[in-house]
């Protein structure tokens, strides 16, 4: 094991919250400052440390995400509008790659791997080879297969699918679906970060038990459920009676009808509500039953993870924003670029929707640069005065006109090459400190 790997392994062994530095790592493990620095930078990329202003670099718990780079055979059937000819017991299986079987049988042998999908026509020998090597089969051109192949697919629990599309179209459709899943991988959901089997109180419990749980678990907020595990309320320090009895029933002091989230709620939405309403804990419900909780700490950790995560697939915003250059002109933050074809509407002029996206996104970029915080847009008002055409040069100025501890307001102006105002936005946003 190299020194670099030794350092990362050492960092992983530290408790969450432990402060680390280049000097402390170098001294503890007897390595050079340069080696320690590179390992700490790589640890930051891995999501196991983060640098906090005025605190330093600390060990954090990595947020794990589900693997969304793969598809199931069932999803492929829907994507290609296919029909299942055999192997129905394997439609839930995940495929990790696909190959096009446009080659000889001998050549195919080296490419077919377990859990891959082989796209072929009505070549029975190739279909059999795929199934025998634990791979699914997708038959293009609307062809079927023999009963012998169907029986083999059923025996191996490997789907054999038929579609009327040609091979090129099918490959394009599957590739697009995988690309969309890679974009979705960037979206962290509540189910990815929630604490399952959380501590909770029953509506019949007493204030004394609540105090005991606070002392034992070091938390002061708990969801409250009834005898059927249905969420009926939440208790927080503000609900604790100042002169009440410890025998008081929780059901009488709790806050009823708490704000909740579901497993499929995005973390970005949860963060927005937390910032707006000052909420520290969200119960996670399925139907009305409590299945977990997320805290402000969980949400901030997930937002930090999303900020570090490399972009795995290019979105529309990325394709447009990469064509703009940033500079500071006369003390003002500005972006300069040209109107391109993908920014146009059906009339051939710049789409107001795309231009509005430019204004809001560039405001957020500047706010993130100036504040060590996650930005949640609260409100945006945009006015457009003039149209712009393809290849017109535009300049966008971003000016922060107001800022509080957790709140900011930005003015964004878009000018054409004649310095005429094309559009103007006023954006207000919440800031969740990292």
Encode pLDDT of 290-331 as tens digits: 999 998 888 887 776 666 555 444 555 666 667 788 888 888
Fold of 191-305: CBS-domain (3.10.580)
Written as six digits, the tokens of 56 are: 């330093």
The average pLDDT across 130-135 equals 92
407 Cβ neighbours under 8 A, 6+ residues apart:
428, 429, 430, 431
CA-closest candidate to residue 324, choices 382, 393, 371, 375? 393
pLDDT, mean over the chain: 83
d(CA 194, CA 217): 17
User: Using 50, 70 and 90 to split pLDDT, how confident is the model at 109?
Assistant: confident
Q: Check residues 72 and 423 and name the one with the higher pLDDT.
A: 423
Assess whether pLDDT exceeds 90 at residue 147.
Answer: yes
Bridge partners of 233, per DSSP, are 224, 256
For tokens 């962290």, name the residue: 188
Provide the b/e sequence for 241-271 (b: ≥16 CB within 10 Å).
eeeeeeeeebbebbeeebebbeeebebbebb
Between 147-156 and 124-132, two packed helices, what is the crossing angle to 10 degrees? 10
CATH of domain 316-432: 3.10.129.10
334 Cβ neighbours under 8 A, 6+ residues apart:
326, 327, 328, 395, 396, 397, 398
**Residue 57 has what pLDDT?**
82
pLDDT digits (tens, 9 = 90+) for 271-284: 877 766 678 889 99
Q: Check residues 245 and 63 and name the one with the higher pLDDT.
A: 245
CATH of domain 3-59: 1.10.10.10
- Sheet of 19-20: strand order equals 19-20, 56-59, 49-52
The DSSP call for residue 197 is S
For tokens 């077919």, name the residue: 112
Find the distance separating the first CA and the last CA of the chain, reported in whole Å.
34
d(CA 253, CA 249): 7
Report the range of poorest mean pLDDT among 26-30, 165-169, 187-191. 187-191
Spans of all domains in the chain: 3-59, 73-186, 191-305, 316-432
Assess whether pLDDT exceeds 70 at residue 185.
Answer: no
CATH code matching the domain that covers 73-186, chosen among 3.40.1390.20, 3.40.1050.10, 3.40.50.970, 3.40.50.12280: 3.40.1390.20
Q: Are 406 and 278 in contact (CB under 8 A)?
A: no
For residue 93, how many other CB atoms are within 10 A of its CB? Answer: 16
pLDDT digits (tens, 9 = 90+) for 337-378: 998 887 888 777 888 888 998 898 888 888 877 766 677 888
**Residue 66 has what pLDDT?**
44
């Amino acid at each position: 094991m190299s020194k670099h790997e030794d350092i990362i392994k050492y960092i992983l062994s530290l408790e969450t919250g432990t402060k680390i530095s280049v000097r402390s790592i170098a001294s503890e493990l007897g390595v050079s400052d340069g080696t320690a620095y590179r390992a700490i930078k790589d640890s930051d990329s891995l999501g196991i440390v983060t640098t906090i202003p005025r605190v330093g670099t600390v060990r954090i718990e990595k947020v794990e995400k589900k693997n969304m780079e793969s598809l199931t055979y069932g999803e492929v059937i829907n994507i290609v509008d296919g029909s299942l000819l055999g192997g129905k017991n394997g439609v839930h299986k995940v495929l990790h790659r696909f190959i096009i079987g446009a080659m000889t049988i001998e050549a195919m042998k080296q490419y077919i791997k377990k859990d891959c999908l082989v796209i072929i026509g009505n070549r029975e020998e190739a279909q059999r080879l795929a199934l025998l090597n634990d791979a699914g089969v997708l038959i293009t051109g609307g062809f079927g297969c023999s009963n012998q192949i169907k029986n083999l697919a059923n025996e191996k629990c490997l789907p054999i699918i038929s579609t009327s599309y040609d091979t090129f179209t099918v490959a394009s459709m599957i590739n697009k679906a995988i690309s969309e899943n890679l974009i979705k991988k960037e979206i962290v959901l509540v189910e990815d970060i929630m604490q399952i089997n959380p501590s909770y109180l029953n509506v019949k419990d007493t204030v004394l038990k609540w105090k005991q749980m606070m002392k034992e678990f070091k938390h002061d907020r708990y969801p409250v459920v009834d005898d059927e595990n249905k969420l009926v309320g939440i208790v927080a320090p503000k609900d604790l009676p100042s002169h009440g009895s410890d025998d008081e029933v929780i059901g009488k002091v709790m806050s009823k009808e708490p704000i909740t989230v579901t497993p499929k709620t995005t973390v970005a939405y949860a963060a927005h509500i937390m910032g707006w309403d000052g909420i520290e804990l969200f119960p996670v419900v399925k139907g009305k039953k409590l299945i977990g909780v997320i805290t402000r700490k969980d949400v901030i950790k997930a937002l930090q993870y999303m900020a570090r995560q490399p972009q795995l697939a290019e979105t529309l915003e990325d394709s447009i924003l990469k064509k703009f250059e940033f500079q500071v002109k006369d003390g003002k933050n500005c972006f300069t670029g040209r109107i391109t074809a993908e920014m146009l509407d059906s009339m051939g002029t710049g789409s107001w929707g795309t231009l509005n996206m430019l204004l809001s996104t560039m405001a957020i970029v500047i706010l993130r640069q100036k504040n060590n915080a996650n930005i949640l847009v609260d409100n945006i008002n945009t006015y457009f005065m003039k149209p712009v055409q393809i290849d017109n040069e535009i300049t966008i100025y971003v000016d922060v006109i107001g800022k509080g501890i957790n709140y900011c307001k930005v003015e964004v102006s878009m000018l054409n090459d004649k310095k005429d105002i094309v559009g103007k936005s006023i954006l207000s946003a919440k800031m969740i400190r990292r």
